[in-house]
Amino acid sequence: MSQYNNLLFEVNNGIGTITLNRPKALNALNCELLTELNNLLDVILKDQSIQIVIVTGSGEKSFVAGADITEMKDMSAIEGRNWGKFGQSVFEKLESLPQPVIAAVNGFALGGGCELAMACDIRIVSEKAKFGQPEVTLGITPGFAGTQRLPRLVGKGRAKELLYTGDVIDAQEAYRIGLANKVVPAEELMPAAIALAEKIKSRAAVAVQLCKAAVNKGLNMDLESGVAYEAEVFGLCFATADQKEGMTAFVEKRKAAFTGK
Ligand code: HXC
């Protein structure tokens, strides 16, 4: 029996798939779900046999339709602040996992759902997906870092339009503005996410993880510090067996056999 009431988790061939599983509430994020996700991320963080993570939603209709509105309705200001901080910390943990994380967005990604998708590294989305930050229609701002990650992904002007209007956009528009990496037919969503995961998995794992760290940390630094950080991770690669193997394989005109070491 699963140890989680609101999540499914399976690992196949080094790919860990997290399925947010509250389909009756369109996978809305309640406190129990976020607590379970937080605990699961601690497990994944320590388990390097999990090389890539995919995050998706259960059911045909929704990735995540936001934070649970029924749970938030009667919150005080302090409770709201603490709920926001908790969700932010869970998404930060997801974003800073060493392993790459792919969101397979199968439907509504609204409010906290859009924020969750943005905390993932790459978003592969079904043509049925819909994105938006509709918080202002409920009298609140985004609270799980949507005001911060959205402009970083799509630029200040487009982010402000989405944030001020609460408009919901379709998959193609999300792709056009850079919120989605790729749009695929609904039935091809998981195969496409797994194919991408397999491709990334075939590369030198330490180098991929250091690319992730360099991009994430660099975005919070000035260019000079980010470039200096890159030099450090670049140097570190030369301490890996995969660097020796990758370059030797090139010189020997054969395919590299990486070990992740
Ligand atoms: C709680 C939700 C929910 C949510 C849907 N449900 N979204 N429950 N919180 N965010 C529940 C509905 O109440 C309903 O339960 C069931 O899921 C099915 O939803 P319907 O509305 O009947 O489906 P449909 O008509 O297809 O409309 C789908 C929808 C709509 C457009 C996605 O559900 C919707 O607008 N949901 C809210 C989207 C939203 O505003 N998200 C942002 C939340 S604020 P019953 O029991 O009636 O069947 C947020 C802030 C994050 O995310 C930061 C916090 C700090």
pLDDT, averaged per 10 consecutive residues of the chain (261 residues), comes to: 89 98 98 98 96 97 98 98 98 98 98 98 98 98 98 98 98 98 98 98 98 97 98 98 98 97 95
Q: Whose CA is nearest to atom 37 of ligand 1?
A: 65
**Residue 190 alpha carbon to ligand 1 centre in Å:** 24
- Residue 52 Cβ inside 6 Å of ligand 1? The answer reads no
- Indicate whether residue 134 lines ligand 1 (CB < 6 A): yes
ipTM above 0.95, yes or no: yes
Ligand 1 pocket residue status of 28, Cβ below 6 Å:
yes
pLDDT tens figures, 17-63:
999 999 999 999 999 999 999 999 999 999 989 999 999 999 999 99
Q: What is the pTM of this model?
A: 0.98
Residue nearest to atom 32 of ligand 1 (CA): 65
Question: How much is the pLDDT for 3?
Answer: 85
Domains of the chain as residue ranges with CATH: 7-201 (3.90.226.10), 205-251 (1.10.12.10)
**How many whole angstroms from 185 Cα to the centroid of ligand 1?**
24
Measured from the CB, is residue 57 less than 6 Å from ligand 1?
A: no
33-40: Cβ within 8 A, 24+ apart = 33/6, 33/7, 34/86, 34/87, 34/90, 36/4, 36/5, 36/6, 36/7, 37/7, 37/90, 37/94, 38/89, 38/90, 38/93, 40/4, 40/7, 40/9
pLDDT at position 109 is 99
Distance, in Å, from the CA atom of 217 to the CA atom of 209, rounded to the nearest integer, reads 12
The confidence score (pLDDT) of residue 36 equals: 98
